[in-house]
Amino acid sequence: MADKPYVIDEMISAKAIAARIEALCREIVSEFSDTEKLVVVGLLRGSFVFIADLVRELDLPIEVDFLEASSYGNSTESSREVRILKDLRNAIEGRDVLVVEDIVDTGYTLSHVTNLLRSRKPARLKTIALLDKPSRREVEFRADWIGFEIPDAFVVGYGIDYAQRNRNLPFIGKVRFTEPAS
C-alpha cells in the first residue's frame, strides 16, 4: 500500500496555518491566564511541528511533555485499538494540561488519551487539534480548540506522515493515489 504511487495536493498553506495558530493562541492564553505552569502535552509523532509552533506563540509559563499512542502504522486506516507506547515523563495531578494532537479522525485516540489523563486528576485538561474530520467520527469527541475542519481525505505534511514520509512538508496536503487500488 505504502509504495503505491501518489501525488500531494496542497490543502492548507503554511501561511494559513501560522495565522490560525496565532488566533488560537490568543484564546488559549486567555483561558490559562491564571495558570502557575501549563503542561503542554504533544501526542507523538504527528504533532511535533504543530506543538513547536504553538508553544512559541504561547506567552505563558509552560512545560512540555510527550505521549505516544499507537496510530495508523503504515496504513491509511485507523486500527481503533489505542495503546500507549510512551507515557508522560511527569505526573499531572493538580496541574493545568493542554493536549496537542495533529488530527481527530475516528475520535478513538483522543477520547482514550483524555480518559487516561483525566484519571490522573489534573486541575484542568483541555485539548487542541490542528485538523478535525468530523464526518469520520466513530466515538463522540470534540476538541476544545480546532485549527481547521477538513473533509474525509488522507493528509500529510506539517509533521503528519504517510508511512513515515512527508512530515517535513511546510503545508498540509492531500494524498491522491495515481493508480486505482488493486
Catalytic residues: 105
Q: Which stretch binds ligand 5GP (CB under 6 A): 23-31, 54-62, 87-95, 105-113?
A: 105-113
Asked if the peptide bond before residue 167 counts as cis, ω within 30 degrees of 0, the response is no
Question: In this complex, which beta carbon is closest to ligand 5GP, that of residue 92 or of residue 104?
Answer: 104
Among 49, 58, 78, 128, binds ligand 5GP (CB under 6 A): 78
Q: Where are the alpha helices (DSSP H) in the chain?
A: 14-31, 48-57, 108-118
Q: Which stretch binds ligand 5GP (CB under 6 A): 34-42, 53-61, 87-95, 97-105?
A: 97-105
Among 35, 71, 114, 127, binds ligand 5GP (CB under 6 A): 71
Nearest distance from residue 160's CB to ligand 5GP, in Å?
A: 5
Question: In this complex, which beta carbon is closest to ligand 5GP, that of residue 93 or of residue 140?
Answer: 140
Question: In this complex, which beta carbon is closest to ligand 5GP, that of residue 10 or of residue 36?
Answer: 10
Residues 106-165 that bind ligand 5GP (CB under 6 A): 106-109, 154-156, 160-162
CB 9 within 8 A of CB 166: no
Q: By C-alpha distance, which of 127, 131, 95 is closest to 114? A: 127
Pairing of strands 38-44, 96-104: parallel
Edge-to-edge strand list for the sheet holding 38-44: 84-86, 62-69, 38-44, 96-104, 124-132, 145-149
Question: In this complex, which beta carbon is closest to ligand 5GP, that of residue 32 or of residue 50?
Answer: 50
CB atoms inside a 10 Å sphere around CB 66: 18
Q: By C-alpha distance, which of 157, 155, 178 is closest to 166? A: 157
Give the binding site for ligand 5GP (CB under 6 A): 46, 71-72, 78, 101-109, 154-156, 160-162
